[in-house]
Amino acid sequence: MLEKALAHAGRNQQAYLSQLQAYLRIPSISTLPEHQTDVARAAEWVAADMQRLGLRNVRVMPSGGYPFVYGEWLEAPNAATLLIYGHYDVQPVDPLDAWQHDPFGAEIQGGKIWARGASDNKGQHFAHLKAIESCLAATGRLPLNVKVLLEGEEESLSQNLEPFLRANRRLLAADTGVISDGAMIRPGTPEIDYGLRGVVALEIRVRGPGRDLHSGSYGGTVLNPVQALAAMLASLHHENGTVTIPGFYDRVRPLTPEERALLNQAGYTLEQWQRETGARLPWGEPEFTLLERIGARPTCEINGIWGGFSEEGMKTIIPASAGAKITLRIVPDQDPDEIARLFQEHLQSIAPPQIQMDIRYQSGCWPVVMPLDAPEIRAAARACRQTWGVEPVFSRGGGSLPVVAAFQQILGAPFALIPFGLDDNRHSPNEHLGLEYFFNGIQTAIRYYYSLSSEFELGD
Ligand SMILES: [Zn+2]
């Protein structure tokens, strides 16, 4: 069955590629109102393709904004159900003169397809649709049950996703999910992302005197709010890079020696870090490697700080107020609300009595991680290895993906992240996707469905 599906995908490469070109030629830019009809057209186009290739119950479902496109195939009664998520909207294309190809021409040149959305995300989720098509056309069935959910607002903050998931919990119920977005670490090296950090965002406002004061008349009698805030912020880290907030690390899941070995296999060198950051020397917890610090350790960052006079020349004042923006990256099992509370309590406890402080908790997103012995990890590793002929690398991303956290929180389904592309100038001029990556994406997806189905059977 698997071989038949793979062979079908191989024979139909040209057809699948021309379909992808048609999809990419729809300029579905969700952030620009003048593309409203294009975004709607992309939803209809992909829904029609899902219908044609054999998904059932295909629907374009309205939300507060752009619709969700849904389709399913649920005819494998004793098998697991896989939810595949992607997004059919794309980023804007400016600056247009930096493009060497028409961003919506979907030209093929140099073994790549050039278009906005080629990699992020049409090309990558379309590989899943073509994997489903290959299985259904070649064998009349899929090895497991599949639900496909495509969103039209991923590039404009996914504001309707959470309410949609809550309202359609039953429809979307699944044992596990997969997202193919993002980038592999290096050409030809498949990657499995099994974790992401969460994030907590806060804003601090400190007030001192009732107005900016003359520093000659009052200096030496008033606690300067900029100084008070700077001192509090400077005390948030120990010299070795750990965060001083009491209780901050209580829920951090320790890294096992096995996980450390696996995580560091990706091989991230000091030189690569220096090239990427433009910084001379790393900083942070010395007992953890750079990859561990980025993916598996929590942080506290001052994103911005303001107060007083900073124009040219001088102004002899004691400013009335100061402020700062903070984000804390968190890891399993830290809870964003609890971390926000610990931060607030700690700062209030060290605030000098001369100032008034107000801390606003702006937003929080849960961290996620999939255990390394999960069936998804084994299945993904096998699918990647058999497609690319090399071992995949395993990575925990330092960033946060609210979508994944929402799936986990609301649907209770873990999500495997298996990128099919490279950096590919996503969000920049000259976005593209290597044809090999598109075709290998289809093969990886087919193999993943089969492997996952047998892993789940074994688990029963
Ligand atoms: Zn994007």
Q: Write the pLDDT tens digit of every residue in 87-105.
A: 999 999 999 999 999 999 9
Does 139 share its domain with 221?
A: no
**Distance spanning both ends of the chain, measured CA to CA:** 22
Does 66 share its domain with 91?
A: yes
* Cα(181)–Cα(188) distance, integer angstroms: 16
Residue 97 DSSP label: G
Whether the per-residue pLDDT at 323 is higher than 90: the answer is yes
Task: Determine the pLDDT at residue 267.
Answer: 84
Beta strands in 226-300 (DSSP E): none
Residue 350's CATH number: 3.30.70.360
Tell me, yes or no, whether 288 lies in a domain. no
412 Cα: distance to centroid of ligand 1 (angstroms): 24
Does 234 share its domain with 347?
A: yes
24 Cα: distance to centroid of ligand 1 (angstroms): 14
Does 347 share its domain with 221?
A: yes
Query: pLDDT confidence of 57, banded at 50, 70, 90?
Result: very high
Q: What is the DSSP string of 303-365?
A: EEEEES--SSS---EE-SEEEEEEEEEE-TT--HHHHHHHHHHHHHHHS-TTSEEEEEEEEEE
- Residue identified by tokens 């992302």 is 193
Structural domain total, the chain: 2
Whether the per-residue pLDDT at 443 is higher than 90: the answer is yes
Enclosing domain of residue 303: 202-252+298-362
Does 246 share its domain with 321?
A: yes
Tell me, yes or no, whether 290 lies in a domain. no
119 Cα: distance to centroid of ligand 1 (angstroms): 9
Tell me, yes or no, whether 215 lies in a domain. yes
Tell me, yes or no, whether 344 lies in a domain. yes
Tell me, yes or no, whether 176 lies in a domain. yes
Neighbours of 382 (CB within 10 A): 18
Does 224 share its domain with 109?
A: no
Last residue of a domain, one of 362, 379, 397: 362
89 Cα: distance to centroid of ligand 1 (angstroms): 9
Tell me, yes or no, whether 232 lies in a domain. yes
Residues near 189 by beta carbon (within 8 Å), at least 6 away in sequence: 388, 390, 392, 393
Decide the pairing of beta strands 112-114 and 321-330.
unpaired
Q: What mean pLDDT comes out for the span 41-54? A: 98
Query: pLDDT confidence of 157, banded at 50, 70, 90?
Result: confident
Does 380 share its domain with 339?
A: no
Does 146 share its domain with 15?
A: yes
Task: Determine the pLDDT at residue 458.
Answer: 67
Does 51 share its domain with 190?
A: yes
Q: Residues within 5 Å of ion ligand 1 by Cβ?
A: 120
Task: Determine the pLDDT at residue 147.
Answer: 98
Picking from 84, 20, 64, the residue whose alpha carbon sits closest to that of residue 153 is 64
Neighbours of 187 (CB within 10 A): 10
Last residue of a domain, one of 362, 391, 413: 362
**pTM exceeds 0.85, yes or no:** yes
- For all residues of the chain together, what is the average pLDDT? 96
Picking from 398, 198, 229, the residue whose alpha carbon sits closest to that of residue 325 is 229
91 Cα: distance to centroid of ligand 1 (angstroms): 6
Residues 433/434/438/444 CA torsion (nearest 10 deg):
-120
266 Cα: distance to centroid of ligand 1 (angstroms): 24
* Cα(404)–Cα(162) distance, integer angstroms: 11
Does 24 share its domain with 51?
A: yes
74 Cα: distance to centroid of ligand 1 (angstroms): 30
Picking from 422, 420, 434, the residue whose alpha carbon sits closest to that of residue 115 is 434
Task: Determine the pLDDT at residue 403.
Answer: 85
> In the numeric block, which tokens belong to residue 5?
């599906």
With a pLDDT cut of 90, the percent of the chain lying above it is 91
Q: Write the pLDDT tens digit of every residue in 98-146.
A: 999 999 999 999 999 999 999 999 999 999 999 999 999 999 999 999 9
Tell me, yes or no, whether 272 lies in a domain. no
Last residue of a domain, one of 362, 384, 415: 362
* Cα(92)–Cα(31) distance, integer angstroms: 7
Does 50 share its domain with 96?
A: yes
402 Cα: distance to centroid of ligand 1 (angstroms): 13
Task: Determine the pLDDT at residue 459.
Answer: 61
Q: What mean pLDDT comes out for the span 240-263? A: 96
Residue 93's CATH number: 3.40.630.10
* Cα(80)–Cα(278) distance, integer angstroms: 46
Task: Determine the pLDDT at residue 351.
Answer: 98
Task: Determine the pLDDT at residue 442.
Answer: 98
> In the numeric block, which tokens belong to residue 304?
């911005």
123 Cα: distance to centroid of ligand 1 (angstroms): 12
Tell me, yes or no, whether 155 lies in a domain. yes
186 Cα: distance to centroid of ligand 1 (angstroms): 19
* Cα(160)–Cα(326) distance, integer angstroms: 26
Does 341 share its domain with 373?
A: no
Where b means 16+ CB within 10 Å and e means fewer, 156-174 reads bebebbbebbeebeeebeb
